[in-house]
Amino acid sequence: MSYYLAPSLKQLRDEIDAAHPGRDKKSDGWVGDLSHSARKSDHNPAWDAGGVVRAIDVDISDIDVNKLMAVLKNDSRVNYFIYNHSIYGASQFTKRRYTGSNPHTQHIHVSIKHSKSAERSGAWGYSGGSVKPVASKPKPKPAKSNRPTDYKDLTVDGVFGSATAEAVQILMSQIGLYERAIDGDAGKYTWEAVQEWLNGLGYYHRAVDGDFGYHSVIALQQFLAKKGHLDTKKWLIDGKFGKETIKAFQKYLNQQNGGK
Ligand SMILES: [Zn+2]
């Protein structure tokens, strides 16, 4: 099953991005690591509700955190938020001391309510309404007949050819991050989706710009190593998209193919 960020939170993030172009996103994040979902968290996809992720973390370095908190307190979609040792929730967003392991001094955590209406997009008012609401479509677009929704297992050969590129595009579209042509020709939008995905997993902290360079490859390599596909005793995490990295990516893609 695929997972996706609640449209309401996607819009909140878009508004924050629009108000602070190029803001520091080091402590941003949204989806938890899918294989470590033991801990109950709104960052884990709610599979019983179609795979929605109901929380985001926003880096506070370059944003107006007081304005954001005022916006959150004013919106009935919000369940609670955590910032600077404090959790704000329940009635009237009363402030209580937060004693979890992460003090939340680098980011603000926002959780929405567990309801369909809380997932809906609609202006938050953070950026003064200059951002167009994102279309309210909680699920990835239904596949058109000419749009493959599954890929064949790849030959693990370390060559990033059209079959591998197509598998990446299909996986990203299953996750809901890629909506363009599945043509086996990985360009800017494909790599943007991969960056966004690694960002959500907490491995990539830079601009989602489709330019899959050194830092993007490092993030991918770290992820693949964590998943056991890249043996770091033999291969360096070096930011080079070489044969062993591609092989590891192909293994991961094969594992994801109908594996979940
Ligand atoms: Zn969080």
pLDDT in tens, 69-119: 999 999 999 999 999 988 998 767 888 888 877 788 889 999 999 999 999
What pLDDT shows up at residue 38? Answer: 52
- Between the CA of 91 and the centroid of ligand 1 the distance, in Å, is 21
Residue 187 has pLDDT above 50, yes or no: yes
**Rounded mean pLDDT of 211-236?**
90
pLDDT class for 257, splitting at 50, 70, 90? confident
**Rounded mean pLDDT of 19-35?**
81
CA pair distance 197, 180, nearest whole angstrom: 16
What pLDDT shows up at residue 164? Answer: 96
- Between the CA of 220 and the centroid of ligand 1 the distance, in Å, is 22
What pLDDT shows up at residue 33? Answer: 58
- Between the CA of 102 and the centroid of ligand 1 the distance, in Å, is 9
- Between the CA of 126 and the centroid of ligand 1 the distance, in Å, is 19
What pLDDT shows up at residue 103? Answer: 81
Contact between 175 and 4 (Cβ < 8 Å): yes
Among candidate residues 174, 204, 172, 205, the one with its CA nearest the CA of residue 188: 172
Q: For the chain, what is the mean pLDDT?
A: 85
- Between the CA of 212 and the centroid of ligand 1 the distance, in Å, is 26
- Between the CA of 183 and the centroid of ligand 1 the distance, in Å, is 35
- Between the CA of 192 and the centroid of ligand 1 the distance, in Å, is 23
pLDDT in tens, 120-138: 999 999 986 444 555 554 5
Q: What is the pTM of this model?
A: 0.54
Provide the residue count of the chain.
260
Structure tokens at 170: 């299909």
CA pair distance 121, 136, nearest whole angstrom: 6
Q: In what order do the strands lie in the sheet with 78-83?
A: 55-59, 107-112, 78-83, 86-89, 94-97
What pLDDT shows up at residue 11? Answer: 95
What pLDDT shows up at residue 260? Answer: 43
- Between the CA of 74 and the centroid of ligand 1 the distance, in Å, is 20
Give the DSSP per-residue string, the chain.
---EE-HHHHHHHHHHHHHSTT---TT-B-PPPTT---S--TTS-BGGGTSEE-EEEEE-TTS-HHHHHHHHHT-TTEEEEEETTEEEETGGGEEEE--SSS--SSEEEEEE-SSHHHH-----SSSTT-SPPPP---SPPPPPTTS----PPPP-SS---HHHHHHHHHHHHHHTS--S---S---HHHHHHHHHHHHHTTS--S--SS---HHHHHHHHHHHHHTTSS-TTTS---S---HHHHHHHHHHHHHHTTT-
User: How big is the CA angle at 148 (ends 147 and 150), to the nearest 5 degrees?
Assistant: 155
- Cα 118 to the chain's mean position, in Å? 19
What pLDDT shows up at residue 17? Answer: 93
**Rounded mean pLDDT of 33-38?**
51
- Between the CA of 52 and the centroid of ligand 1 the distance, in Å, is 15
What pLDDT shows up at residue 36? Answer: 44
CA pair distance 80, 93, nearest whole angstrom: 7
**Rounded mean pLDDT of 181-207?**
89
- Between the CA of 56 and the centroid of ligand 1 the distance, in Å, is 6
**Rounded mean pLDDT of 207-224?**
91
What pLDDT shows up at residue 39? Answer: 59
Residue 68 has pLDDT above 90, yes or no: yes
Structure tokens at 233: 């005793």
What pLDDT shows up at residue 34? Answer: 56
Residue 142 has pLDDT above 50, yes or no: no
